[in-house]
Amino acid sequence: MGKLNKVDEKVVATLQAESKDLSLQELADKTGESSKKVFKSLKKLFENEIVSTQARKYKLIITETKAIKAKLAAKGDEEEPEA
**Each residue of 47-74: pLDDT tens digit?**
999 999 999 999 999 989 899 988 888 8
**pTM (predicted TM-score):** 0.85
CATH of the domain at 71: 1.10.10.10
Residue 31 counted as domain residue: yes
Lowest mean pLDDT among 6-10, 13-17, 22-26, 64-68: 64-68
Residue 82 counted as domain residue: no
Residue 81 counted as domain residue: no
What local confidence, expressed as pLDDT, does residue 79 receive? Answer: 59
What is the per-residue burial (b if ≥16 Cβ within 10 Å, else e) of 6-38?
Answer: ebbbbbbebbeeeeebbebebbbebbebeeebb
Residue 83 counted as domain residue: no
Supply the range of the domain harboring residue 67.
6-76
Cα(33)–Cα(27) distance, integer angstroms: 8
What local confidence, expressed as pLDDT, does residue 78 receive? Answer: 66
Q: In total, how many domains does the chain have?
A: 1
